[in-house]
Amino acid sequence: MVALMNSDRGMAFARLKAAKDLMYAQGFDIKTIAAAQRAWAPQLRGMAAQLFDNVRVADTVAWGSYPIMDRLYVSAGGTDSWSATDTVASLSAQLDAVIAVGGIWYPVIHRIDSSGDPLYTIPIPVFQGFTAYLQSKVAAGLVRAVTFEKSLTP
């Protein structure tokens, strides 16, 4: 998107709008977009403001914290893309670390399946095992599990 914006601002805006329009045509009025390849720029922020309420950039793989300074450029709190190398134990350890520091965590999950690109696909049993662990932490009142938009306010 940054390269496209630098070469053709109109086309960059059209691509953002096309993503929103495609989801709307399928019955989803999306309010948040995730930056492709985690690449974002201040000029894109201005374009996105016309279409979205929030942008998850996640270009900084580190725990986020409050206050969120810019809803259209949320960069901290994202994870590496979940993949076939992740385990219930490794994901649970990440969650425990976030809880320990009181941070914000935005897992980046592309695909949950038994097959697919191993760099971007987390196995179903691993996802289910982790979500069971997450549910136990939510039930204990140690963490909130909410939509991205709701996460932007404490």
Upper half-sphere CA count for residue 42 (Cβ side, 13 Å): 0
Q: What is the pLDDT of residues 95-109, one digit of tens each?
A: 999 999 998 998 989
Q: Which among 43, 127, 42, 36 has a CA at the least distance from the CA of 90?
A: 127
**What's the one-letter identity of residue 135?**
Q
Q: What is the pLDDT of residues 120-145, one digit of tens each?
A: 999 999 999 999 999 999 999 999 99
**What's the one-letter identity of residue 75?**
S
What pTM was estimated for this model as a whole?
Answer: 0.81
Helix (H, G, I), strand (E, B) or coil at 104: strand
- Report the pLDDT value the prediction gives residue 37, as an integer from 0 to 100: 67
Helices (H), 8-87: 9-25, 42-48
Q: Which among 74, 92, 13 has a CA at the least distance from the CA of 46?
A: 13
Q: What is the pLDDT of residues 29-87, one digit of tens each?
A: 999 988 876 778 888 888 999 999 999 887 767 788 888 888 998 888 888 889 999 99
